[in-house]
Amino acid sequence: MDIKQLDDTLSVRGQIAPAEVAEAAAMGFRSIICNRPDGEQPGQPAAEEVAAAAQEAGVEFRHIPIVPGQLTPDKIEAFEAALTEMPGPILAFCRTGTRSAMLWGLHKAPELGADGAIQAAADAGCDIAQARPLIEQRAS
């Protein structure tokens, strides 16, 4: 699994298959957040399939779909709530992991500032610079 650890609480990756959920649980992940809308790409597993695998593996699951380019305040709030309510460590995913990393950057902006959040994501292998205007708003 190509997992990028952003901090002690959250790691991100691209699409997870239902068959990979047990492996994520064995790696210590206690929760999974899906930031990918269903039907984004042909052949992509539906969120409910991943949720069923998570339930079977004893892992909490939450679906907070983000359409590319549409990071709305309600989705940001839902992601932040998930980070505080779900047991960690948490694995978040979307198509490539970038949308999940952007949400983390928005969450961390008040603490790290825009440059710090973007750099921390880059250090983990995630380029979230395209979200700089939103991250700067959240940092101030």
Residue type, 111: E
Mean pLDDT of 113-139: 95
pLDDT digits (tens, 9 = 90+) for 75-94: 999 999 999 999 999 999 99
Average pLDDT over the chain, rounded to an integer: 95
Strands 90-93 and 31-34: parallel
The predicted structure's pLDDT at residue 44: 95
**What percent of the chain clears pLDDT 90, i.e. is strictly above it?**
93
The predicted structure's pLDDT at residue 69: 81
Assign domain 4-106 to its CATH superfamily. Answer: Protein tyrosine phosphatase superfamily (3.90.190.10)
Q: Is the pLDDT of residue 1 over 70?
A: no
The predicted structure's pLDDT at residue 140: 83
Dist. CA 64–CA 87, nearest whole Å: 16
pLDDT digits (tens, 9 = 90+) for 25-70: 999 999 999 999 999 999 999 999 999 999 999 999 999 999 988 8
Helix (H, G, I), strand (E, B) or coil at 55: helix
The predicted structure's pLDDT at residue 70: 85
Q: How far is CA 57 from CA 40, 74, 77, 116, in A?
A: 25, 29, 27, 35
Angle subtended at Cα 114 by Cα 108 and Cα 119, rounded to the nearest 5 degrees: 85
Do the Cβ atoms of 6 and 12 come closer than 8 Å? yes
Q: Give the pTM.
A: 0.94
Mean pLDDT of 117-131: 95
Two structure tokens written together for 46: 């539906």
The predicted structure's pLDDT at residue 90: 98
Q: Return all residues near 19 (Cβ < 8 A) that are at least 6 apart.
A: 53
Residue ranges covered by each domain of the chain:
4-106
